[in-house]
Amino acid sequence: MRLLAIALALFAATAVQAQTPAAPATAAPPAAARTPSPPGAEAYIISPRNGAKMKSPVLVQFGLKGMGVAPAGVKFDNTGHHHLLVDTDAPANMGAPLPATDNIRHFGKGQTETLLTLAPGKHTLQLLLGDQNHIPHDPPVISKKITITVEK
């Protein structure tokens, strides 16, 4: 008899839930606040130099002034990790995580240089620092865009 009472109670609760209207869809959660960058922080490309003509692979060395480098996922004040923008512009939405693509290279282990294989022709390179979640700082710590020519 006791099992029958429990079964009826569960059935009644399920029936009530089935008749209860679903909760309205909620909007996407607001974007997280961007990590502040200290005044004067600057990212720059040490090498190659703007206008350089070279063969592939290209050694790209990253520079950073006024901040430190920390791996992705590590939250530490005034740090971030590099993202190399290859043949693309900086994203319009600086409040979103940078996607990992052929044009946006992530260096989430804290790397400060890379060997980049590029096809012959003109290419643009630019650094953009991201916080522990790959989101650009506020204000963004971004280098000047340079142009290089890769020769055959």
Residue 8 has pLDDT above 70, yes or no: no
pLDDT of amino acid 32: 61
Handedness of CA 9, 14, 19, 20 (dihedral sign): positive
- Confirm whether 88 is domain-assigned: yes
128 assigned to some structural domain: yes
We report the CATH number of the domain holding residue 92 as: 2.60.40.10
Looking at the whole model, is its pTM more than 0.85?
Answer: no
- Total number of domains in the chain: 1
Query: Of 39, 44, 28, 146, nearest to 95 (Cα)?
Result: 28
Residue 84 lies in a domain: yes
Question: Per residue in 22-64, pLDDT tens?
Answer: 444 444 344 568 999 999 999 999 999 999 999 999 999 999 9
Q: Is residue 109 part of a domain?
A: yes
84: its two tokens: 């190399």
Range of the domain at 48: 42-151
Does residue 56 sit within a domain? yes
* pLDDT score recorded for residue 33: 86
- The answer to whether residue 123 is domain-embedded is yes
The pLDDT value recorded for residue 6 is 39
Let me know if residue 69 belongs to a domain: yes
In-domain check, residue 110 = yes
